[in-house]
Amino acid sequence: MTRIAVLVSGGGTNLQALIDAREGEKLADGELSLVISSRAGVQALERAQKAGIKTLTVERKKFSALEDFDTAISCALSEEKIDLVVLAGFLSILGKKTLKLFKDRIINVHPALIPSFCGNGFYGLRVHEEVLKKGVKVTGATVHFVNEIVDGGKIILQKAVDVLPDDTPEILQQRVMREAEWTLLPKAVAMFCKGEIK
């Protein structure tokens, strides 16, 4: 059994996609063992609790140093004997300790086709705002391994999504989630659990 921790900061729609995949037996031998939120009171925690998954809040704002926050995260993951860490709308940067301890065992879903619209400052609605500003005709989502470079790890899966003439950032965000993120992330997790990616 592959013990999975999902790190979140907000609504938890990608977490819900994983919960749904688990219930549909599409996560191979993956077990959603822990959800950690960097913010208190977010909907992602409610989703996890409703699904019977252990939750923990490690508030980033309560730590003055990234190193202390990172230590709290890595300790929580180690205590639960986590095999795979999934970043699903996690808006904090992981530090060196967690990256080293879980090398090649942390994956992230990014709402664009890396290497476009990625790196520092590119997250959430900002990504889709920039996509529309540039006037590109195709965007999408990427699941990739996490390393010390923001959005710089090896790409696992990508899926393209059309940008339509009347799109707003909010409409485009919903389409990218629905057509790409919510299918790619569970698929990548299942691939990891089956040993198909390393």
With vertex at residue 121, the alpha carbon angle to CA 8 and CA 106, rounded to the nearest 5 degrees, is 40
Other Cβ atoms less than 10 A from the Cβ of 93: the count is 15
Distance of CA 187 to the CA centre of its chain: 13
Residue 110 bears catalytic tag = yes
Residues 6+ positions from 134 with CB-CB distance below 8 Å: none
Tell me the three state secondary structure of residue 190.
helix
Annotated active-site residue in 39, 105, 110, 144:
110
Task: With beta carbons less than 8 A apart as the criterion, state whether 4 and 32 touch.
Answer: yes
Report the catalytic residues: 110
